[in-house]
A and B are shown apart, each in its own frame.
Chain A
Amino acid sequence: MTIGYSFEEIYEELFPAIYRFVRVRVPASEAEDLTAEIMVKVWRSLAGLGEKTSVQAWALRIAYNQIIDYYRSEKHIPVFSGKDQPDFAHLTPDHAEQLTMMSCVKETLTKLPASQVAVIQLRIVEGFSAAEVADILGTSRQAVDSLLYRAKKRFRKFYAARTTGGKRL
């Protein structure tokens, strides 16, 4: 496997995105092991990676498939693992407002289909192009665009309902 990079380099490059992707979908107890597994797979399959695809998208595709494998017994991949969530303990009481906002976002995202959440995360947060996201999720560009559009509509609807129901606006 002589591709000019060491495992450490690849790991540094890819770990954040992959872990962020995994930890919202898999219970924390499993997330670490699964991430390690994905990293191994990515490292192993780098040899078969063509020039044209970006390593990041390739890695996330592997991560996505791995998560599907993990949930294979169930039909839908839950948006959130439900039991344990990325905790916001690092936020001090001073950040109470931010904390409410975060839980608000979380609740809103729970109401969205898994595919829409995946598209949001990959396009908005990780900054992949529509084609790359389509490649990762195994769909078409158009499907990704429409998913993103519908996600926006739904997100705004639920988020607005949450916030106006509370103290804001």
Chain B
Amino acid sequence: MREKDLNRLWEEEGCRNLLNSFFTAPQLDTAQKERIKGLALKKLAAEKNGAEEAGAAELQASETWKSRLYDKTKTLWWRWHWKLGIPLVLLTLMIFIGAQIPLYIGQNASFTSDGVSEKTAGTAEERQNTFSDEQLSPNGAASSAATEEKSGIMLDNSDVSVYLPPDTTTPPADSSLAKMITYNLNATIQVNNIADTINKLQQDVLQMGGYVVNSQQYIKESNEYGHFTAKLPADKYESFRTTLPGIGKIVSQTQTANDITNQYYDAQTRLQNWEAELGRYTEILKQAKTVEEVLKIESYLANIRQQIEQLKGQLRYWNNAVQFSTVQIELQPATTPILQVTDPWQLVSWLKTWKAVQAAVLKTISTTWNVLNYLIVGLSYIFPYLVLFGIFYLAYRLIKNKRAKKQKNN
């Protein structure tokens, strides 16, 4: 029905004749026709020769198959070329959403690693504080802070220099006496495997004749962390410190050396004095006649004994602190490497490049995803305005239509 209508439409005004005569206007030239035929035959012959050389039948089969495939893809592309992008984009989005959860965690980890390192720094400081409190508590009389030398250097992982306490500031009571110095080491190290590292550290410490005070492992934000405290014989301290770079990447390292020579010998002298006093009072006690005298002297003696005990405890503690150095190590998981070439002449391993590439790709994907999220959030911000706009537009259309109808009726 429609076809007939269309045909009739074209019949009007002699259109069909006009077009017929236009398209067929220059009558086909027989000479030209023969020429083209010759050309075609030549091409066929050339093709045939080529085909025969390459094995005719096989080529033909594959050619028709190939050309059909080619035709199909071509028409598909011509018809759908931009629309094909939509499912592609959707597919990528789905993959994004699918990969979102692990991505999110990965991102979190990279964010928190900084925070954690800060925190561990804090706790390390705290520990140091409690440590020095402990150090002070047994001896109330020791007004140590003034004489104590304490210094820490936060080091880059590259150059680690040992802090040595200055000799001159507080000369010991007697230069012939041995120096009493305690060493503390705080380090934060990034390692690949926390548990293995802790095991290795424990073995090292035991081999060197030290002992493990505390070792713990914990999981935070899907990452593992570790904390390790040990006491090492003072003479092994230096050799242990040099093994640290082999464990992992040293993020920070603080060494503290306390020169307690003065306090130590002070305390020793005071102990001797108290002991002498103890002896004297014991003598006096023997000479006491009345109960009152005995009680009085006993109370003095009790006080002296207490002082002696305190000093002895303090000295024992210091002996231990001097003989055994304290080592505190925070263990962090190794973060995603960002390829930084510090020395242009040093070759960078492929593994690093590959890791950096992975990190870069993940970053881009997560950024894209986040941008999409922001877009959606932004859209919801303007949503009320959109609704308003839609209502106004609808009203406008209605009014316009009504007016048009009125005009028509008029």
Q: Residues on A close to B: CB < 8 A?
A: 7-8, 11, 15-16, 19-20, 24, 32-33, 35-37, 39-40, 43-45, 47-48, 65, 68, 86-88, 90, 98, 101-102, 105-106, 109, 120-121, 124-125, 129-130, 138, 145, 148-149, 152, 155-156, 159
B407 within 8 A of A: no
Stretch at the interface among B1-9, B169-177, B211-219, B328-336: B1-9
Instruction: Using A45-B67, A124-B20 as known contacts, say yes or no to A16 and B28 having CB atoms under 8 A apart.
Output: yes
When distances are taken between beta carbons in the complex, the residues of chain A under 8 Å from B20 are: 124-125
For B65-86 the 0/1 string (1 means CB < 8 A from A) is 0011001001100110000000
Instruction: Using A7-B44, A152-B9, A155-B15 as known contacts, say yes or no to A102 and B24 having CB atoms under 8 A apart.
Output: no
Once the chains bind, are B26 and A88 in contact (CB under 8 Å)?
Answer: yes
B43 within 8 A of A: yes
B400 within 8 A of A: no
When distances are taken between beta carbons in the complex, the residues of chain A under 8 Å from B21 are: 98, 102
Looking at the assembled complex, report how far the CB atom of A104 sits from the nearest CB atom of chain B, in whole angstroms.
9
Q: In the complex, which of the residues B23, B68, B78 contacts A24, with contact meaning CB atoms closer than 8 Å?
A: B23
Stretch at the interface among B32-40, B100-108, B148-156, B265-273: B32-40
Once the chains bind, are B40 and A125 in contact (CB under 8 Å)?
Answer: no
Return the chain A residue nearest B27 by Cβ: A90
Once the chains bind, are A102 and B25 in contact (CB under 8 Å)?
Answer: yes
Bound CA–CA A24/B24 (angstroms): 10
Return the chain B residue nearest A72 by Cβ: B74
Once the chains bind, are A101 and B40 in contact (CB under 8 Å)?
Answer: no
When distances are taken between beta carbons in the complex, the residues of chain B under 8 Å from A39 are: 36-37, 40
Looking at the assembled complex, report how far the CB atom of A16 sits from the nearest CB atom of chain B, in whole angstroms.
6
Bound CA–CA A44/B46 (angstroms): 13
When distances are taken between beta carbons in the complex, the residues of chain B under 8 Å from A105 are: 18-19, 22
> Can you list 22 A-B pairs with a CB-CB distance of less than 8 A?
A7-B41, A8-B37, A11-B37, A19-B28, A19-B36, A32-B32, A32-B36, A35-B40, A36-B37, A39-B36, A40-B43, A44-B60, A45-B67, A47-B64, A68-B74, A68-B78, A86-B26, A87-B26, A106-B22, A124-B19, A145-B3, A152-B9
Looking at the assembled complex, report how far the CB atom of A119 sits from the nearest CB atom of chain B, in whole angstroms.
10
Judged by DSSP, the binding face of B is: helix
Looking at the assembled complex, report how far the CB atom of B316 sits from the nearest CB atom of chain A, in whole angstroms.
93
Looking at the assembled complex, report how far the CB atom of B274 sits from the nearest CB atom of chain A, in whole angstroms.
105
Return the chain A residue nearest B35 by Cβ: A32
| Sample of 17 more A-B contacts, CB < 8 Å, known A7-B41, A145-B2 | A32-B32, A36-B37, A37-B40, A39-B40, A44-B44, A44-B47, A45-B64, A47-B64, A48-B68, A65-B74, A68-B74, A68-B78, A120-B19, A125-B19, A125-B24, A129-B3, A148-B10
B13 within 8 A of A: yes
When distances are taken between beta carbons in the complex, the residues of chain A under 8 Å from B44 are: 7, 40, 43-44
Looking at the assembled complex, report how far the CB atom of A49 sits from the nearest CB atom of chain B, in whole angstroms.
11
Bound CA–CA A29/B42 (angstroms): 18
From residue 202 to 243 of chain B, which have CB atoms closer than 8 A to chain A? none
Bound CA–CA A84/B367 (angstroms): 55
When distances are taken between beta carbons in the complex, the residues of chain B under 8 Å from A47 are: 60, 64
Once the chains bind, are B6 and A15 in contact (CB under 8 Å)?
Answer: no
Once the chains bind, are B10 and A36 in contact (CB under 8 Å)?
Answer: no
Looking at the assembled complex, report how far the CB atom of A169 sits from the nearest CB atom of chain B, in whole angstroms.
10
Most A-side CB within 10 Å, residue of B16, B25, B43, B60: B25
Once the chains bind, are A36 and B40 in contact (CB under 8 Å)?
Answer: yes
Q: In the complex, which of the residues A15, A48, A125 contacts B64, with contact meaning CB atoms closer than 8 Å?
A: A48
When distances are taken between beta carbons in the complex, the residues of chain A under 8 Å from B36 are: 15, 19, 32, 35-36, 39
Looking at the assembled complex, report how far the CB atom of B335 sits from the nearest CB atom of chain A, in whole angstroms.
50
Q: In the complex, which of the residues A11, A45, A48, A152 contacts B40, with contact meaning CB atoms closer than 8 Å?
A: A11
When distances are taken between beta carbons in the complex, the residues of chain B under 8 Å from A152 are: 6, 9-10, 15
Looking at the assembled complex, report how far the CB atom of A72 sits from the nearest CB atom of chain B, in whole angstroms.
9
Bound CA–CA A80/B45 (angstroms): 32
Once the chains bind, are A37 and B35 in contact (CB under 8 Å)?
Answer: no
Question: Which 8 A-B pairs give the minimum distances between C-beta atoms?
Answer: A36-B39, A36-B40, A39-B40, A125-B23, A105-B22, A40-B43, A86-B26, A138-B75
Once the chains bind, are A124 and B16 in contact (CB under 8 Å)?
Answer: yes
Bound CA–CA A130/B42 (angstroms): 35
Bound CA–CA A84/B154 (angstroms): 84
Bound CA–CA A8/B38 (angstroms): 11
Most A-side CB within 10 Å, residue of B19, B22, B26: B22
Once the chains bind, are A33 and B41 in contact (CB under 8 Å)?
Answer: no
When distances are taken between beta carbons in the complex, the residues of chain A under 8 Å from B47 are: 40, 44
